[in-house]
């Protein structure tokens, strides 16, 4: 299983060379991988029936020290997705080989699409929340790269970025939600969390977890109001649209909602949030679809409709709803995959990107016409296609919904009417009627690599419809059981007799066809939507992005102002504030103001030191400042000597002498002090400086009464003579115990010397020039 | 004595910070010298102050007689003094160079990257 998931990444790594070696046949060659994976996953079908609880778990160690395992969970739901991903993946890779033939970046395309497929497989098969999230983000990133595949096109880049921002922002929320789930449930393993639903539903964090997880799912699955990135993502090459944006990636959110239904589902909040957002998305999606005329736009918005429908069904949460959701998912993947591939053929052979340009292509593209029609029939939900089975179940589920059944049913029927109209636009408009002037005149029927996908996927839509019961027992019921959290009895059938759902189905067909005949009038009447769009979610997204740029510009201007003293002020004020607050509120400091035991000469030295420091700060004469600086240094040296640090004292005297000489030599080539700062600012700086000084004094006093650990000096004192053969312990430490530190010190000095030398040398050369 | 030293260190820090907040780059350098003195003194005081007990081992003995001052802090300060001097030397020459190019001691005139 590990190999199956990771093989996509492995093959992706060598795909460019395969492409270079095999040339135009590389598409078929690389498509072998998804084909093999499909067979591998299909081989799980019989085992699933025997497995305990309908699930198989496989564990591999990943980061053992952190307890992170790569666990894979195979049940009806993950298997349904895995089969769709690998199955449609096969046709898409083969199709891309031909569709993008001669494109100079085709090798890169294979890398991305295979890596995407592997990420998607990892996502649906992962049982560990962390690895699930990693794969989740990988799909976002590969999708970003695929949308921006034509990276020279500014619009493609912008759409790619939009998709990335929306899905990754949701991903962040999702990560928080998943970690909270793991904390509540006490495990990162899905197969353990799924059986402990009540823990979540009764926990205080339930609503927070639910909102965070749903934010991730809604952005990924383009639910209203996050739907806008999906149609824009159509900037990607058509095979990508067919694969990512209809059959797989956008369903990741749906997958996760379905997956977590046994843990988080079943509450009123779950039902209302999913049901309402789903129903609104369904309606808005199909409405916008019918308003569009671009081939891919129409299909993309109808995908939004499908995602909304799935979300709504998961929200409804009954046994029938789960069956309906899984059947609808399968039906949608089949017909939408086929239709997107047909859209690619329209573009490739006739140069049409807009339905208004098309018409009468049935003579030039007879095979495409037939199978586009077949897929459109499934989309419309006409007997005996699988789409019909799904649609009937959908009606039945919403009619029986435990809450808001009326609202859901009305929206579902209205949407179904518009879906039929969209299906007619896709299935009739380009092929029949008078021959339109297409940008390119199709010379021949599309080649086999392009036709394979539509033919097989559309035919499966018909076969599954005829054998609905078999599909149900084979997979759909198992998938529904995984979502429902309990066994589900197979129910799918092509014919359930004359009932309300069938009546609604018939009504929607008739009204839909009527709507199709009045398509132009519909678009004209709903022209006011353009105005609404200007204030819609996409405009909000644009505003947010512009606002973020403005905010970062503003804070850069304020914080990165280029004045050293403001940087210092910022640092100092924050330090003083934070340290003092912590010291006063968090710790039990004890300050011992013991002024006894001071000898007269010591007090004198300290007084001179402080006076000298004050003079160096206040004097307007440079010589005075440097001289008093020297006095400070020598006083410090005296303190070292008085308190048993002879070596330090000697060094300080030497260094201080050198410092004064150097300052006198160099600084006197610079101009004298100018009174640059007004009095007010000087007082402000003095206050801040005194605050820092006071903080250091208080810290010192507080620290001298606290000792957290024993000094390590005892070891050095004891071992200096026996191990280091030296009687001056300080020297032994420097050259023996801590010799590496001293080496570092020498390196610093050498670097400084090189720097000083270089600057003096270059100046001499500048002068000569 | 340690209480007095705490105030001394505080005073040195205050003087150093005040100088570092000035616009003149020479004053910034003076502030740096004061700052390194303040930091060294802080470290020295924190290790404990002992009069007339240098960390030396008497001739012929294996261990020092009685309690001695903390040698580790002294070693650290020694290193710090020398490194501080290296950095100061570099800074002073750099400032001198900058003055030659910019013809100003005012840091506000040095804040742009292009001269």
Of A636, A733, A742, the CB nearest to B41: A636
DSSP string of A300-353? HHHHHHHHHHHHHHHHH--HHHHHHHHHHHHHHHHHHHHHHHHHHHIIIII---
Of B17, B46, B74, the CB nearest to A692: B17
DSSP A446: P
- Give the model confidence (pLDDT) of A705-714 as tens digits: 777 777 788 8
DSSP string of A480-511? HHHHHTS-------S---S-HHHHHHHHHHHH
Average pLDDT over residues A756-765: 80
- Give the model confidence (pLDDT) of A145-186 as tens digits: 999 998 888 999 999 999 999 999 999 999 999 999 999 988
Do residues A516 and A425 make contact, with C-beta atoms less than 8 angstroms apart? yes
A306–chain B nearest CA distance, Å: 56
Domains of chain B from N-terminus onward: 2-50+71-109 (1.10.287)
- Specify the pLDDT at position B114: 55
Interchain contact B82–A (C-beta under 8 A): yes
- Give the model confidence (pLDDT) of A418-475 as tens digits: 999 999 999 998 888 888 888 888 778 888 888 999 999 999 999 998 888 888 887 8
A568 contact residues in B (CB cutoff 8 A):
17, 20-21
In 3D space, the residue among A272, A339, A274 whose CA is nearest the CA of residue A301 turns out to be: A339
Is pLDDT above 50 for B115? Answer: no
- Specify the pLDDT at position A650: 93
Rounded to whole angstroms, the Cα distance separating A317 from A306 reads 17
Judged by average pLDDT, the poorest of A384-398, A518-532, B22-36 is A518-532
Global model pTM greater than 0.80? no
Q: Name residues 594-623 of chain A within 8 A of B (Cβ).
A: 594-595, 597-598, 602-603, 606, 609-610, 613-614, 616-617, 622
Rounded to whole angstroms, the Cα distance separating A239 from A367 reads 19
Q: Name residues 659-678 of chain A within 8 A of B (Cβ).
A: 659, 662-663, 666-667, 669-671, 673-674, 676-677
Mutate one of A729, A738, A744, A761 to test the B interface: name it (highest B CB count within 10 A): A729
Do residues A505 and A195 make contact, with C-beta atoms less than 8 angstroms apart? no
A753 contact residues in B (CB cutoff 8 A):
86, 89
Average pLDDT over residues A715-742: 89
Is pLDDT above 80 for A688? Answer: yes
Rounded to whole angstroms, the Cα distance separating A235 from A678 reads 60
Q: Both tokens of residue A281?
A: 């998305």
Rounded to whole angstroms, the Cα distance separating B19 from B29 reads 8
- Specify the pLDDT at position A667: 74
Average pLDDT over residues A94-120: 90
**Structure confidence at residue A144 as a pLDDT band (50, 70, 90):** very high
Contact: B93, A756; criterion CB under 8 Å: yes
B79 contact residues in A (CB cutoff 8 A):
734, 741-742, 745
Mutate one of A567, A670, A722, A737 to test the B interface: name it (highest B CB count within 10 A): A670
Pairing of strands A68-75, A55-63: antiparallel
Interchain contact B101–A (C-beta under 8 A): no
Rounded to whole angstroms, the Cα distance separating B102 from B115 reads 7
Apex A143 CA angle, A139 and A144, nearest 5: 120
Rounded to whole angstroms, the Cα distance separating A126 from A205 reads 24
Is pLDDT above 70 for B113? Answer: no
- Specify the pLDDT at position A719: 87
A701 contact residues in B (CB cutoff 8 A):
3, 6
Range ranked top by mean pLDDT from A228-232, A572-576, A719-723, B97-101: A572-576
Q: Which residue has the higher pLDDT, A178 or A491?
A: A178
Mutate one of A576, A617, A711 to test the B interface: name it (highest B CB count within 10 A): A617
In 3D space, the residue among A205, A469, A199, A217 whose CA is nearest the CA of residue A327 turns out to be: A469
- Give the model confidence (pLDDT) of A273-323 as tens digits: 999 999 999 999 999 999 888 899 999 999 999 999 999 999 998 989 999
């Amino acid at each position: 299983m590990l190999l199956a998931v990771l093989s996509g990444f492995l093959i992706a790594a060598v795909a460019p060379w395969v492409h270079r070696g095999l040339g135009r046949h590389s598409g078929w060659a690389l498509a072998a991988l998804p084909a093999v994976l499909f067979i591998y996953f299909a081989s799980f079908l019989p085992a699933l029936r025997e497995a305990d609880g309908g699930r198989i778990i496989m564990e591999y160690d990943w980061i053992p020290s952190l307890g992170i395992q790569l666990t894979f969970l195979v049940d009806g739901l993950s298997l349904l997705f895995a089969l769709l991903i690998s199955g449609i993946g096969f046709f898409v890779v083969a199709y891309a080989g031909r569709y993008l033939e001669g494109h100079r970046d085709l090798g890169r395309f294979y890398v991305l699409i295979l890596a995407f497929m592997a990420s998607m497989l990892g996502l649906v098969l992962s049982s560990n929340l962390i690895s699930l999230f990693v794969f989740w983000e990988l799909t976002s990133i590969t999708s970003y790269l695929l949308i921006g595949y034509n990276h020279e096109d500014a619009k493609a880049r912008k759409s790619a970025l939009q998709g990335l921002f929306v899905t990754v922002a949701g991903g962040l929320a999702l990560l928080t939600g998943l970690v909270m789930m793991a904390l509540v449930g006490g495990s990162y393993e899905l197969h353990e969390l799924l059986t402990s639903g009540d823990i979540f539903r009764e926990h205080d964090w339930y609503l927070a977890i639910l909102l965070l997880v749903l934010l991730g799912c809604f952005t990924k699955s383009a639910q209203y109001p996050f739907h806008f990135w999906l149609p824009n993502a159509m900037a990607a090459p058509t095979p990508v649209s067919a694969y990512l944006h209809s059959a797989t990636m956008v369903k990741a959110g749906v997958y996760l909602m379905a997956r977590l239904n046994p843990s988080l589902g079943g509450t009123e909040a779950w039902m209302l949030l999913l049901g309402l957002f789903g129903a609104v998305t369904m309606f808005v999606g199909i409405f916008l679809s019918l308003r569009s005329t671009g081939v891919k736009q129409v299909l993309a918005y109808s995908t939004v409709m499908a995602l909304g429908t799935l979300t709504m069904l998961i929200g409804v949460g009954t046994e029938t709803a789960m069956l309906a959701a899984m059947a609808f998912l399968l039906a949608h993947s089949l017909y939408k995959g086929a239709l997107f591939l047909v859209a690619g053929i329209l573009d490739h052979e006739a140069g049409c990107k807009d339905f208004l340009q098309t018409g009468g292509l049935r003579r030039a593209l007879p095979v495409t016409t037939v199978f586009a029609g077949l897929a459109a029939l499934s989309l419309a939900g006409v007997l005996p296609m699988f789409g019909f089975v799904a649609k009937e179940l959908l009606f039945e589920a919403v009619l029986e919904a435990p809450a808001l059944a009326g609202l859901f049913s009305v929206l579902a029927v209205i949407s179904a009417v518009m879906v039929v109209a969209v299906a007619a636009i896709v299935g009739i408009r380009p092929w029949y009627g008078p021959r339109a002037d297409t940008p390119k005149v199709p010379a021949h029927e599309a080649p086999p690599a392009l036709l394979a996908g539509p033919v097989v996927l559309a035919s499966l839509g018909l076969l599954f419809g005829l054998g609905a019961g078999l599909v149900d027992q084979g997979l759909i019921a198992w998938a529904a059981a995984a979502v429902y959290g309990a066994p589900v009895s197979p129910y799918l059938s092509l014919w359930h007799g004359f009932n309300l759902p069938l009546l609604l189905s018939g009504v929607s067909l008739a009204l839909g066809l009527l709507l199709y005949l009045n398509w132009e009038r519909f678009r004209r009447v709903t022209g006011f939507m353009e105005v609404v769009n200007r204030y819609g979610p996409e405009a909000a997204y644009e505003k947010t992005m512009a606002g973020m740029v403005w905010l970062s510009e503003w804070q850069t201007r304020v914080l990165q102002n280029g004045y050293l003293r403001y940087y210092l002020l910022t640092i100092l004020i924050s330090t003083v504030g934070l340290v003092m607050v912590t010291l006063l509120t968090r710790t039990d400091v004890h300050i011992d103001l013991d002024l006894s035991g001071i000898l007269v000469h010591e007090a004198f030295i300290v007084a001179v030191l402080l006076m000298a420091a004050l003079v160096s700060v206040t004097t307007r004469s440079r010589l005075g400042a440097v001289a008093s600086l020297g006095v400070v240094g020598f006083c410090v040296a005296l303190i070292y000597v008085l308190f048993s640090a002879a070596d330090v004292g000697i060094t300080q005297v030497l260094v201080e002498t050198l410092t004064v000489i150097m300052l006198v030599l160099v600084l006197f080539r610079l101009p004298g002090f100018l009174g640059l700062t007004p009095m007010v600012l000087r007082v402000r700086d003095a206050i801040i400086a005194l605050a820092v000084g006071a903080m250091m004094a208080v810290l010192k006093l507080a620290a001298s009464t606290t000792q957290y650990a024993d000094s390590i000096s005892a070891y050095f004192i004891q071992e200096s003579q026996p191990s280091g053969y030296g009687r001056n312990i300080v020297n032994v430490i420097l050259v023996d115990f801590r010799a590496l530190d001293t080496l570092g010190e020498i390196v610093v000095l050498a670097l400084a010397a090189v720097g000083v030398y270089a600057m003096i040398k270059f100046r001499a050369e500048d002068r000569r020039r | 004595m340690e209480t007095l030293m705490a105030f001394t260190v505080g005073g040195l820090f205050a003087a150093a910070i005040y100088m570092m907040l000035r616009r003149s780059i020479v004053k910034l350098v003076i502030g740096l010298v004061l700052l390194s003195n303040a930091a060294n003194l802080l470290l020295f005081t924190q290790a404990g102050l002992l009069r007339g007990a240098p960390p030396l081992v008497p001739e012929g003995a294996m261990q020092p007689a009685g309690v001695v001052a903390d040698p580790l802090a002294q070693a650290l300060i020694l290193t710090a003094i020398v490194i501080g001097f290296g950095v100061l030397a570099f800074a002073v020459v750099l400032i001198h160079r900058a003055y030659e190019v910019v013809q100003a001691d005012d840091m506000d005139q040095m804040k742009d990257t292009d001269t």
